Amino acid sequence: MKRLKCTVAYDGTDYSGFQVQPDQVTVQGEIEAALNRITGESIQITGSGRTDAGVHARGQVIHFDTSSQIPLDKWRFVLDNQLPDAIVVRSVEEAAPDFHARFDVKQKEYRYCIDNAPVPDVFCHRYADHIRFPLDVEQMRLAAGHLIGEHDFTSFCSAKTFVEDKVRRLFDLRVEREGERIWVICRGNGFLYNMVRIIVGTLVEVGQGKRHPDELPGILAARDREAAGKTAPAKGLTMWEVLY
């Protein structure tokens, strides 16, 4: 048996998230079905994290164990041949036997894309949330600065989560404009359920003038989901990179 580590990209629009769910089409389910067809083995993959329905990935990392004799340099091509067009294996490498795609993660980066044009771009509507009203990026940047560091992010976590420890560290939270696109780039040691999308929704309200940047410390201190902004739509979010 050997352990393989893969970097996977996918368009999450038509999937019910990454994790296998009964009677649902998921990214994990598609990859495991492809592996089972290729190897004849009953293989379960482990991902670096779970993405929700409609969320995309550029750098999701998975691992799995196999006794297959397929040469390492052929794995990517064999897998891509068996996967739907919306899922692509970007790289495959052999990992140490004790490598774990989830537990060994040091940092993750998510990026959220906002289409801030007056008229939506039809060619990016699956990957960006369209907001036609102008956003004040400088005010959004000032607000984002209050969230960098280690905090209890209860206010920025879905009330549906069962996780008790809601302390996380954000190493970087940037708001960048590229023409009519606005990117919210969030890098941390881990993320709570809907955390990035709630952060984005709150920053958007700052950009619209509905909140002041200096409200952010109070929102953190409240430890109350109702204190923060709306949850931004899933389609604008991409798991960008995982670092080990």
DSSP 8-state symbol, 73: G
State the catalytic residue, choosing from 11, 14, 23, 52: 52
Nearest CA to 137 out of 170, 181, 171, 187 is that of 181
In this structure, which CATH number among 3.30.70.580, 1.20.1630.10, 3.50.30.30, 3.40.50.10190 belongs to the domain 2-95? 3.30.70.580
The full set of domain ranges for the chain reads 2-95, 107-243
Pairing of strands 149-152, 167-178: antiparallel
Instruction: Report the alpha-carbon distance of residue 223 to residue 171 in Å, rounded.
Output: 20
DSSP 8-state symbol, 201: H
Nearest CA to 137 out of 209, 207, 185, 211 is that of 207
pTM for the predicted model, two decimal places = 0.95
Q: Which amino acid is present at 184?
A: V
pLDDT tens per residue across all 244 residues of the chain: 999 999 999 999 999 999 999 999 999 999 999 999 999 999 999 999 999 999 999 999 999 999 999 999 999 999 999 999 999 999 999 999 999 999 999 999 999 999 999 999 999 999 999 999 999 999 999 999 999 999 999 999 998 888 999 999 999 999 999 999 999 999 999 999 999 999 999 999 999 999 999 999 999 999 999 999 999 999 999 999 999 9
Instruction: Report the alpha-carbon distance of residue 233 to residue 120 in Å, rounded.
Output: 15
Instruction: Report the alpha-carbon distance of residue 57 to residue 31 in Å, rounded.
Output: 14
Instruction: Report the alpha-carbon distance of residue 105 to residue 156 in Å, rounded.
Output: 21
Annotated catalytic residue 104: no
Q: CATH classification of 107-243 is 3.30.70.660, yes or no? A: yes
Q: What is the CA radius of gyration of the chain?
A: 19
Burial 77-95 (b: 16+ CB within 10 A, else e): ebbeebbeeebbbeebeeb
Q: CB neighbours (10 Å) of residue 226? A: 8
Burial of 37 (0-12, 13-18, 19+ CB in 10 A): exposed
